[in-house]
Chains A and B, each alone.
Chain A
Amino acid sequence: GDSVTQTEGPVTLSEGTSLTVNCSYETKQYPTLFWYVQYPGEGPQLLFKVPKANEKGSNRGFEATYNKEATSFHLQKASVQESDSAVYYCALSDPSNTNKVVFGTGTRLQVLP
């Protein structure tokens, strides 16, 4: 079945440092890939999505490239801020089963001032 594996947290960084959260996926088809972010007390919300291989998605300084060959979708940010503290989920939607999204286990990021 489809699966998503991502960096195990928590990840603790100082403000201004760079972030990489690794994400690898397994699926038989070519999925749409997503990054969702969840702040305390809220539901997850979309950070960005990439439907096509070899394309890049970005939002709020975060970016990730859909690497079909490596089956990866790593999240990066050059300089994190305290307000980026949240849980980040990598996810995929398999076109052969449009009824659900498969999420990774989430990576908790804490940014210290």
Chain B
Amino acid sequence: DPKIIQKPKYLVAVTGSEKILICEQYLGHNAMYWYRQSAKKPLEFMFSYSYQKLMDNQTASSRFQPQSSKKNHLDLQITALKPDDSATYFCASSQDRQGQNTLYFGAGTRLSVL
């Protein structure tokens, strides 16, 4: 059974709309992350959370907002969608903040913005 669940697997949106990408992890980890993968920038770091607190934000746009309602949840809200936002978004977790800890990735949400 997958230990990191991302929903939905595929998502099609129109320009200007808003979507929420869901991520839940069942590994008992304390740190969670979002990464984006596109043809232009493979595996680009976006956010990291530790114990539900934002630790690092490398996303220039405020249109991307992570939301952590529980320790094992880290959703990603994207507003005013643009075609350039089309990518696969990966949620990941690690036991604690990075260091030597292994990252465990979900299967991703593939977002297409028309």
Contact = CB atoms under 8 A, between A and B. Distances in A.
B92 interface: yes
B56 A43 contact: no
Contacts of B108: 42-43
Nearest to B43: A103
26 contacts: A41-B107, A42-B107, A42-B108, A43-B92, A43-B105, A43-B106, A43-B107, A43-B108, A44-B90, A44-B103, A44-B105, A45-B104, A46-B104, A49-B100, A93-B99, A98-B98, A99-B48, A99-B50, A99-B98, A100-B33, A100-B45, A101-B103, A102-B45, A103-B42, A103-B43, A105-B42
Interface residues of A, number: 23
Interface residues of B, number: 25
Question: Chain A binding site: helix, strand, loop or mixed by DSSP?
Answer: loop
B92 A95 contact: no
Interface of A: 32, 34, 36, 41-46, 49, 51, 89, 93, 95, 97-103, 105-106
Contact of B42 (A41, A97, A106): A106
A98 B107 contact: no
Contacts of B114: none
B87 to A, nearest CB: 13
A32 B107 contact: no
Interface of B: 4, 33, 35, 42-43, 45, 48, 50, 55-56, 58, 90, 92, 97-108
Contacts of B100: 32, 49, 51, 93
